[in-house]
Amino acid sequence: MDSAVFQPIQGMSDLAAPEISLWQRLEHAAREVMRLWGFTEVRTPLLEYTHLFTRSLGDTTDVVQKEMYTFADRGGRSLTLRPEGTASVIRHVAGLGAEGDDARLYYVGPMFRSERPQAGRKRQFHQLGVEAFGAPNPAADAEVIALQLRLFEAWGLSGHTLDLNTRGMPEDRAAVTQGLADAARPHLGALCEDCQRRFETNILRLLDCKKESCQQIVANFPPTTQFMGEASRKYLDDVLRLLGKLGINAKVNPRLVRGLDYYVHTVWEIRHGALGAQDALAGGGRYQVALGDKTFQGVGFAIGLERAIMAVQQDNPALAAAAPQTGAWLVALGDIAREANLQLAKQFRCAGIACGMELGARSMKAQMRAANRSGAKWVVIRGDNELAAGTAALKNLADGAQQDVPLADLEARLKS
Ligand code: HAM
């Protein structure tokens, strides 16, 4: 058969058993943490008008310039598969009016970026993100960072580090650009082609170029805080002080700028040793986006879930492996027992006991093989004798022990 028939699009994957159960457990634990922190879920469409992203992420960013899946719909309108969640959540909050001013929202779902696929980098990937709206306030930034770290704790992660920096306020931008341009100009010829372009279009991005030769040059640039006003430096100090009060140790990384233009003040990134070259487990920051006649301000983060799964597999193998052996498999000897088992399966399932059974007429051996494959803990075996006696043979698949149990006692035994 033509393999293209069953291959998903390059860089995109099906998520299914057995891994899906770890995804579900991580999401379940996260939803509970977010409830405790006072966030509610929002599910926005996967498609948006393209201008939402060009306006909010910035039209010189890599995401907008190189990575968006953009196409025209039948009416000729330009649509884009969301490359991230913040812009859509801001659009949603814009529609809420005054009620949205202090909205606290989270989202879980697929994002799309047309990047070169490699380990930990997909074209369809999943983010769990949080956005807390409100005017700049160091306490809000510290609270959201604490939430993010609490999520990692709930997942049993330990191998991550937090890098933090400030992008300053919009009014610092001219001085920061000037300061960086002065520092970079003497080295312009030695910078990579991308950075030579960034020098003109988005000079901050020089600081996080991945090329070793560029990194050596920017390592000697003064930190951007040197070009910022006192208010921006104090804001950063306040965030660090409040994080300290929450027992959180953040490393200030003056080269951290993040790749999206909407950031102001605090930005941060979480890295994890399990991730190899694509080591960013999560990123976040405070942002400011003008939409219509209003400016939206908030702070938030997004965790890459494919990467979180890799990190959990390294740090918390017990959680990653846990596939609880629960439930029962019903085995029938003969047609009458099989029909009786159909009723029994319904009764068990309604009573909260997961169970499966062979629906066709198959040998005892084949049914036992299916029972083993199912991961069930118990096998319930019935034939004519058991039906007549009102009992079932109950076998524990873990140790092979088998015993006749009256039908009336079965539910309690299976739940034990
Ligand atoms: P971001 O840094 O672009 O931020 O993405 C956040 C996380 O998504 C990354 O740290 C990474 O774990 C994951 N990620 C990004 N691209 C890929 C990919 N191609 N394959 C797999 N995982 C990927 C944002 O998206 C911002 N919206 C975060 C934010 C929310 N800032 C404020 N609020």
Tell me what the mean pLDDT of segment 82-96 comes to.
98
Ligand 1 atom 15 nearest Cα: 304
pLDDT in tens, 186-239: 999 999 999 999 999 889 999 989 899 999 999 999 999 999 999 999 999 999
Ligand 1 atom 14 nearest Cα: 304
Q: How far is the CA of 278 from the centre of ligand 1 (A)?
A: 11
Identify the pLDDT of residue 210.
87
Q: What is the average pLDDT value for the chain, to the nearest integer?
A: 95
pLDDT in tens, 353-404: 999 998 999 999 999 999 999 889 999 999 999 999 999 999 999 999 999 9
Q: What is the enclosing helix (H) or strand (E) of 280?
A: strand 280-291
H-assigned helices in 155-223? 173-184, 193-201, 212-218
Structure tokens at 108: 């879980």
Q: How far is the CA of 44 from the centre of ligand 1 (A)?
A: 17
Q: CA 256 to CA 164: how far, in whole Å?
A: 7
- Which pairing describes strands 328-332 and 355-357: parallel, antiparallel, or unpaired? parallel
Residue 182 has pLDDT above 70, yes or no: yes
3-state class (DSSP) for residue 268: strand
Q: Residue 127 CA: which ligand 1 atom is closest?
A: 8
Distances 339 to 132, 336, 344, 382, 410 between C-alpha atoms, Å: 55, 5, 9, 11, 18
Check whether domain 328-415 has CATH 3.40.50.800, yes or no: yes
- Residue 66 burial class via C-beta count within 10 angstroms: exposed 0-12, middle 13-18, buried 19 and up: exposed
Q: Residue 284 CA: which ligand 1 atom is closest?
A: 31
Q: CA 107 to CA 130: how far, in whole Å?
A: 7
Residue 3 has pLDDT above 80, yes or no: no
CATH no., domain 3-169+228-320: 3.30.930.10
Ligand 1 atom 29 nearest Cα: 301
CB 88 within 8 A of CB 44: yes
Residue 408 has pLDDT above 70, yes or no: yes
Question: What are the φ/ψ torsions at residue 111 (nearest 5 degrees)?
Answer: -125, 160
3-state class (DSSP) for residue 214: helix
- Which pairing describes strands 391-396 and 355-357: parallel, antiparallel, or unpaired? unpaired
pLDDT in tens, 30-69: 999 999 999 999 999 999 999 999 999 998 899 999 999 9
3-state class (DSSP) for residue 131: strand
Ligand 1 atom 13 nearest Cα: 304
Q: Which residues of 306-322 are buried (b: 16+ CB within 10 A; e: fewer)?
A: bbbbbbbeebbeebbee
Q: How far is the CA of 332 from the centre of ligand 1 (A)?
A: 51
pLDDT in tens, 5-27: 899 999 999 999 889 999 999 99
Q: Residue 117 CA: which ligand 1 atom is closest?
A: 19
Residue with tokens 């969301």: 82
Three-state SS for 339-395 is HHHHHHHHHHHHCCCCEEECCCCCCHHHHHHHHHHHCCCEEEEECHHHHHHCEEEEE
Ligand 1 atom 18 nearest Cα: 121
Residue 320 has pLDDT above 90, yes or no: no
Question: What are the φ/ψ torsions at residue 161 (nearest 5 degrees)?
Answer: -130, 155
The pTM (predicted TM-score) of the whole model is: 0.93
Question: Ligand 1: which of 118, 260, 272 to mutate, most ligand atoms within 8 Å of CB?
Answer: 260
* Percent of all residues in the chain with a pLDDT value above 70, rounded to a whole number: 98
3-state class (DSSP) for residue 415: helix
Identify the pLDDT of residue 147.
98
Residue 1 has pLDDT above 80, yes or no: no
For the chain, domain boundaries: 3-169+228-320, 328-415
Sign for the CA dihedral angle at 79, 85, 86, 89 comes to positive
Q: Residue 63 CA: which ligand 1 atom is closest?
A: 3
Distances 367 to 86, 229, 357 between C-alpha atoms, Å: 50, 74, 8
Q: How far is the CA of 128 from the centre of ligand 1 (A)?
A: 9
Q: How far is the CA of 73 from the centre of ligand 1 (A)?
A: 26
Q: CA 70 to CA 48: how far, in whole Å?
A: 10
